[in-house]
Amino acid sequence: MNHPFSRISFFLLSALFLFVSCHDASTLKKGFIPSRGDGQLYYEEKGSGEPVVFLHGHSLDTRMWDKQFNAFARAGLRVVRFDFRGYGRSSEQSETFQQTHLDDVLTVMDSLRIGRAHIVGLSMGAFVAAEMIAMCPERLITCTLASGSLHGSLPGPSEPMDSVESAQRDKEIAELQAKGIDAMKAEWLEALMKTGGTESRKMRKPLKRMIDDWSAWQPLHKEPRVLYGRDAQRVLEKRRSVVPTLFLSGENEHREKVPSMSRWLDDYRYVILPNCGHMLNMDQPKAFNDTVLDFILSHPDTLSPSRFGTLQTGDLVFVTRPRNDNGADTIHVATLDVQADGIYVVDATLKHGVDRHPLDTLFSDFTRHNGSICDMYVMRLRDNSDAFRWIASAVTFTGEPYDIAFQYDNGMHYCSELVQDCYLTDEGTPLFPTTTMDFRDADGTVSDYWQRLFTQMQMPVPQGVPGISPADISRSEQLVPVPVDILTFHHP
């Protein structure tokens, strides 16, 4: 998971360019949101209430949602649609700049101060929406996947293009140039129309208009890994999802099987819309709108800010042990994963190895012989905007054994090493740098606690070896205290 991945900070809202048009009873907001790589993302917004974000398909743009935009706003929702980078009025892509479409979604949500939303995607947009279920489920209230789901067969950003794939793309690009872009676009339009229902003729003109306006940059270039693909599937395999999910298929394109990603979902339904095909939202807009609105409105946001107080995904929980001098040593660190169904932690312990489990398991693991729970405190990165990426990375290590030797690159992790390997900058550099392991007390001696622990493991105390301890992480200037008593979330 050490691949470049970044998104605009939540606090770049001040740089957002907006202009407002009042041509409708509900105010339309539209403009451009700055994104990495000197890019801009075009968006439109209307309505108020719980947010719903629409994700368009390949070769298309925001206009494919024309039959949903006003209808969902009138239903009492805050509706947002935008053009992915490389489409519509957003900036073009680059062969040399790695970005993903998931970057785009989170950039828009952060800039518009949308913490969680109902996500609705179709085709390519459904691929991206499905990746959100895996990579950042805390950002979804519900997810609707129309004519698509998780594209787990594609290589993700962790698998860069090699020379063989590069040569194959050169060949494909040359063949397309010889064929002609206009011919390719004409064939693509007919492919989208092919499965349409008896009323599909009405969507031909708007589809053709979008495809004609499309720059066709993607098939003419070596596109970066814009989808997480296998990277997302590996995460979802280890972290089942409780996000309510609706799979939608058109009857004329129905493949008879529920998408395979459903095996990792605890709450999903599968609906087949009659008399339509791939572009079901344009083909049968009323049936599409009724079905999706019924699903969304029956799943209101349950993760209110008051439910878990100030706790957020990405927060670090530190466990302390009292010293003889009335001080305390920080002996463990765990990462919080706050979800709609409760609070989880990902950490590495001798008992579980690397594991994701409910917060109460952490309390149980650090309960003293007298029944009391060890003291704990919570800290957070000053910039916690990449928390979903850090937790997704941590989940990929689940199942690894605990590293009792406190050594790097041995296929095992101890608690603070796990945090160090997952909390990375955009360039892949650890936010918490390596120091040396120090098991000494304030008086310079190694306490009986550590002596007994390592004697039980039949190894010497690894004093002075390169590494990083929970105490080292807790002293980082990048962290700030979170004013919450974590033990109030204990449910005995």
Q: Quote the tokens at residue 176.
A: 């397309």
Q: What is the mean pLDDT of residues 104-130?
A: 94
Q: What is the mean pLDDT of residues 209-237?
A: 94
Distance CA 307, CA 321 (A): 29
pLDDT at 419 over 70: yes
Predicted pLDDT of residue 240: 86
Residue 245's nearest CA partner among 112, 346, 110, 340 is: 340
Q: What are the pLDDT digits (tens) for 352-383? A: 999 999 999 999 999 998 989 999 999 999 88
% of the chain with per-residue pLDDT over 90? 66
pLDDT at 2 over 70: no
Find the range with the poorest average confidence among 240-254, 307-321, 370-384.
307-321
pLDDT bucket at 3, cuts 50 / 70 / 90: very low
Distance CA 426, CA 434 (A): 18
Q: Which CATH topology does 10-297 take?
A: Rossmann fold (3.40.50)
390: helix, strand or coil = helix
Q: What is the mean pLDDT of residues 119-124?
A: 98
Torsion from C-alpha of 253, 258, 260, 261, nearest 10 degrees:
100
Q: What is the mean pLDDT of the chain?
A: 88
pLDDT at 295 over 70: yes
Sign of the CA dihedral with 243 first, then 479, 426, and 393 last: negative
Could you tell me if 265 and 133 are in contact, meaning their C-beta atoms sit under 8 angstroms apart?
yes
- The model carries a pTM of 0.74
Distance CA 402, CA 419 (A): 13
Predicted pLDDT of residue 338: 87
pLDDT at 426 over 90: no
Distance CA 25, CA 47 (A): 10
Could you tell me if 399 and 346 are in contact, meaning their C-beta atoms sit under 8 angstroms apart?
no
Distance CA 165, CA 162 (A): 5
pLDDT bucket at 258, cuts 50 / 70 / 90: confident
From residue 63, how far is each of 88, 107, 174, 205, 281 by CA, in Å?
9, 20, 31, 12, 12
The per-type count for the chain, helices as H runs and strands as E runs, is 15, 17
Predicted pLDDT of residue 273: 96
pLDDT at 404 over 70: yes
Predicted pLDDT of residue 461: 86
- State the amino acid at position 457 in one-letter form: M
Region(s) of the chain under CATH 3.40.50.1820: 10-297
Residue 83's nearest CA partner among 56, 64, 112 is: 56
pLDDT bucket at 236, cuts 50 / 70 / 90: very high
pLDDT at 111 over 80: yes
Q: What is the mean pLDDT of residues 432-461?
A: 82
pLDDT bucket at 7, cuts 50 / 70 / 90: very low
Residue 253's nearest CA partner among 209, 191, 211, 295 is: 191
466: helix, strand or coil = strand
Q: What are the pLDDT digits (tens) for 12-39? A: 333 333 333 333 446 899 999 998 888 9
Could you tell me if 54 and 125 are in contact, meaning their C-beta atoms sit under 8 angstroms apart?
yes
Q: Which CATH topology does 316-489 take?
A: endopeptidase fold (from Nostoc punctiforme) (3.90.1720)
pLDDT bucket at 84, cuts 50 / 70 / 90: very high
Find the range with the poorest average confidence among 35-39, 251-255, 448-452.
448-452
Predicted pLDDT of residue 308: 52
Decide the pairing of beta strands 245-250 and 342-349. unpaired
Predicted pLDDT of residue 289: 97
From residue 449, how far is each of 96, 174, 265 by CA, in Å?
52, 68, 43
Q: Quote the tokens at residue 85.
A: 């980078």
pLDDT at 399 over 70: yes
Region(s) of the chain under CATH 3.90.1720.10: 316-489
pLDDT bucket at 208, cuts 50 / 70 / 90: very high
Residue 86's nearest CA partner among 54, 126, 45, 41 is: 41
Taking the chain, what is the end-to-end CA distance rounded to the nearest angstrom? 35
Residue 283's nearest CA partner among 45, 77, 69, 68 is: 68
Predicted pLDDT of residue 12: 34
Q: What are the pLDDT digits (tens) for 149-194? A: 999 889 999 999 999 999 999 999 999 999 999 999 999 999 999 9
Predicted pLDDT of residue 452: 83
User: In terms of DSSP H, where are the helices of 239-356?
Assistant: 280-283, 285-297
Order of strands across the sheet that contains 342-349: 353-358, 342-349, 328-339, 316-322, 376-381, 479-481
273: helix, strand or coil = strand
